[in-house]
Amino acid sequence: MILAVLQARLSSSRLPGKVLLPLAGAPMILRQVERVRRAERIDRLVVATSDQPSDDRLAQTLAEAGVETYRGPLDDVLARFVGALDAWPADHVVRLTGDCPLIDPGLIDATIDLHLKAGADYAQNRLVDKGFPKGQDVEVITAAALRRAAANASTPEEREHVTWGVWNHPETYKVVRLEPPTDQGQVRWTVDRPDDYEFVSAVYEALYPANPAFSSDDIRTFVRSRPDLATYGGDRRI
C-alpha cells in the first residue's frame, strides 16, 4: 500500500493563499491533484493541511472536489504526516508539497520504483539544489522509517521538514537517490513567489487546453519557444 501525502496550507509567507490561486480555471491545488492522480504507483492520495481556521477555505475546497484531507498541527508537519498514516495505514508514504503544480507523474512512479527495488528506507530525486527541477520534488519513505523519525525528532527542522532526520542520517537509514540524465537542480518550476506563479500560469495557459496531461518535455519545448520565459524572474526555467 502506497499512500501519497500532499502537504499544503494557505498561510505561506511569500505568496499567501497560493495553493488556491487559479490555474486554467481551477485552484492550483486541484490542478496538482490531477497530475498526482496520474501516477500509476500511488494507491491513495491525501492532502494534509492544518487544523487552524486559516486553512478552513482550503479544506472546504478539497472536500467539495472529493479530495480526502487530513488536518493536524500547523507548525508540526511531521505530526500531520504521521496522523495521515494513522488514518490511512500504508507500507510506504510519498511526500509531496502543494507548491508543485508541474509535478511529473512519471517521475513520481520512477522514484517509487527505485525506492522499492532498492529496499530503501528513503528515496528522493532532489536535495540541496541538486537533482531534478525544483518543483519536481518527490520523496518516498517506509511507514516504519517515518514513524521512527517522528519518535526521534527533537528539533524544529525535523518537525517542519518531515524527512530532515532521515536524509541527514544516512548512517542510520538506507537512503537512495533518483538521478536525472543531467543535473537540473537550478531549474525552478515551483511556486513560491509571484513570478513563479506567473511562469506556471503561462505554461498552463499554453499547454493545458490542448493536453491537460502535458509532460515535462512539453514544458521544456514550450519554454524554448518563449525566450522571455527562459530566465523569468531571474531564475533558470529550463
Domain extent listing, the chain: 2-186
CATH 3.90.550.10 fits 2-186, yes or no: yes
State the chain's mean pLDDT as an integer. Answer: 96
In the numeric block, which cell numbers belong to residue 14? Answer: 511569500
What are the C-alpha distances in Å from 123 to residues 28, 82, 118? Answer: 26, 18, 9
Question: What is the dihedral sign for C-alpha 74, 76, 81, 86?
Answer: negative
pLDDT digits 0-9 by tens, 48-61:
999 999 999 999 99
**Burial (0-12, 13-18, 19+ Cβ within 10 Å), 102:** buried
The residue-averaged pLDDT of 2-21 equals 94
pLDDT (0 to 100) of residue 95: 98
Residue 139, SS3 per DSSP: strand
Strand partners, 139: 95, 124
Place of cell 499547454: 207
pLDDT (0 to 100) of residue 135: 97
pLDDT digits 0-9 by tens, 111-164:
999 999 999 999 999 988 889 999 999 999 999 999 999 999 989 898 889 999
pLDDT (0 to 100) of residue 127: 85
Q: In angstroms, how far is the first alpha carbon of the chain from the final one?
A: 35
pLDDT (0 to 100) of residue 110: 98
What whole-number distance in Å separates Cα of residue 70 and Cα of residue 217? 33
Examine the pLDDT at 107 and tell me if it is beyond 90: yes
Of 9-13, 19-23, 107-111, 146-150, the one with minimum mean pLDDT is: 9-13
